[in-house]
Amino acid sequence: MRRRRPHVGVHGVCRSERGTAVVEMAVVTSLLMVILLGIVTFGITHYQNISVESASREASRFGATYPVVDAGSMEQWLRDVAQVAENAATGAMSSAEPSREICVAQGTGDDPAQFVRLRVVGPELIGAATEATGWCFENTAPVSDTVVQVQLKRDGWIETIVYSAKPALTGEATNRFERMEP
């Protein structure tokens, strides 16, 4: 029995293997696109998380040096600190973000009843009500210190064609309140 030799085309490629390079390129390109999309969305979410953490620290530092008497009232002081947190987050905590949560608290000691808190959930910073008492998160500062707590939360988004996730982005900061008398 005689073996048949495959017909070789003009460019030295077997006719039976002509389309394999295109198919291989399509498979590899689609896998690379999925990986690239994952890297890009992870990078954006990571940037937003860094922005949220940094904004909570900046707002906490601002609140620690901003006298309540300059704001006119404790409620206005809490709103001013929350506004600084929103502005410092470079869009990650904008009012257009429906899952955002901003919490600002000031108080002394390890009893949540000694704290005054403003919690904003969703887009409305202006109409948010000041709560009489409570921490934003557990106070670990020395009992004798008056502290400012700022906590920022929102949902992130990581997506590829085959996988998606909504990680919670959170930033928490505490600073000792500096008593600055006019």
Identify the band that residue 14 occupies on the pLDDT scale cut at 50, 70 and 90.
low
Helix H, strand E, coil C: the string for the chain is CCCCCCCECCCCCEHHHCCHHHHHHHHHHHHHHHHHHHHHHHHHHHHHHHHHHHHHHHHHHHHHHCCHHHHCCHHHHHHHHHHHHHHHCCCCCCCCCCCCEEEEEEEECCCHHHEEEEEEECCCCCCCCEECCCCCCCCCCCCCCEEEEEEEEEECCEECCCCEECCEEEEEEEEECCCCCC
Higher pLDDT pick, 112 / 34: 34
Q: What is the dihedral of CA 80, 54, 139, 101, to 10 degrees?
A: 60
Higher pLDDT pick, 178 / 3: 178
Provide the pLDDT for residue 32.
Answer: 92
Provide the pLDDT for residue 130.
Answer: 60
Q: pLDDT per residue over 152-178, tens digit each?
A: 999 888 877 778 888 989 898 888 887
Q: In the structure encoding, which two tokens stand for residue 4, read together?
A: 């048949």
Identify the band that residue 2 occupies on the pLDDT scale cut at 50, 70 and 90.
low
Identify the band that residue 17 occupies on the pLDDT scale cut at 50, 70 and 90.
low
Q: Output the average pLDDT for the chain.
A: 82
The one-letter amino acid at 2: R
